[in-house]
Amino acid sequence: MFLLLLPLLAMAHGLDEHLYKPKLSAASPTLGGLTTSSTFTLEQPRCVFTNLQDDIVIWLVVAVPKAVPNFQNSVMPGSPERAFQKFPTSALAYMTLNTTLLNYPCHKPPREITVLRVGSETSCAKDNTRPTCNGPLPGPGPYRVKFLALNDSNPVAETAWSDPITLKTARQLSSIPTTGSGHSAGMIALTSILSILFAILLAGLVAVLVFCG
């Protein structure tokens, strides 16, 4: 019964809940990796908030999974609970990449790249005056995201939360082969020693020839 009442409660608070679920982009291979060790690339939420005014501001919410069940839409961007610089220690979520709905039109011009690169700003990562920084993500995650529409400070619409997104993990140095072509480090060392000995032998031979001459 409670689950049946959730849509009614959302409508009572004026919040339009969309079934759209943010997802990783499958757009263009020229963009490089969809996930790296500190970024991921999302599809833009086009044709999602079709019943809102064009000046409504759309935010991307990035959260750790445990923040999702009790997430409060009323906590505004820029507040300490939503600061990127405090994520994910004292802030379990942050809000970034704000733009008006005008920038998410339904029509896609040819060759236009319609993606969002999350984690691409490095200049503001430690700048406490930029709490909505789109800074590099601090670890492999997982993370979950959703889009939240605000009319001034009032939440008016939101999407569903994405599936968990896990970033790539950098390989340990010990796991990276120290040589190429399948040769071991011992073989390389032996080859180097033999090359040195050959050079010494050759130098000695030249010296003997010069002396005898």
At 108-157, the pLDDT tens digits run 777 777 899 999 999 999 999 999 999 999 999 999 999 999 998 899 99
Assign 174 to helix, strand or coil: helix
d(C-alpha 166, C-alpha 143), whole Å: 7
More confident residue, 12 or 42: 42
At 30-74, the pLDDT tens digits run 555 688 999 999 999 998 998 898 889 999 999 999 999 999 999
Mean predicted lDDT score pLDDT of the chain: 83
d(C-alpha 71, C-alpha 67), whole Å: 6
Q: Check if the beta carbon of residue 148 is closer than 8 Å to that of residue 59.
A: yes
Could you give the C-alpha distances from 46 to 20, 21, 96, 186, 194, in angstroms and in order?
A: 10, 12, 17, 57, 65
Could you give the C-alpha distances from 40 to 18, 22, 50, 120, 156, in angstroms and in order?
A: 22, 12, 26, 9, 26
Find the mean pLDDT for residues 9-31: 71
**What is the biggest distance separating any 2 CA atoms in the chain, rounded to whole angstroms?**
107
The torsion of the CA quartet 62, 66, 72, 75, rounded to 10 degrees, works out to -50
Residue 171 binned pLDDT confidence (cut-offs 50, 70, 90): low
More confident residue, 43 or 198: 43
- 164 alpha carbon, distance to own chain's centre: 12
Which pLDDT score, from 0 to 100, does residue 112 have? 77
d(C-alpha 158, C-alpha 181), whole Å: 52
| Nearby residues of 125 by Cβ (< 8 Å), 6 or more positions away | 84, 85, 133, 135, 136
Find the mean pLDDT for residues 10-30: 73
Q: 102 in the Ramachandran plot: left (φ > 0), alpha (ψ -120 to 50) or beta?
A: alpha
Q: 97 in the Ramachandran plot: left (φ > 0), alpha (ψ -120 to 50) or beta?
A: left
Backbone angles phi, psi at 209, to 5 degrees: -60, -40
Residue 22 has pLDDT above 50, yes or no: yes
Residue 206 binned pLDDT confidence (cut-offs 50, 70, 90): low
Across-strand partners of 24?
A: 42
Find the mean pLDDT for residues 164-171: 85
Element (DSSP H or E) covering residue 116: strand 115-118
Residue 212 has pLDDT above 50, yes or no: yes
Residue 186 has pLDDT above 90, yes or no: no
Which pLDDT score, from 0 to 100, does residue 5 have? 42
At 73-122, the pLDDT tens digits run 999 999 999 999 999 999 999 999 999 999 998 887 777 778 999 999 99
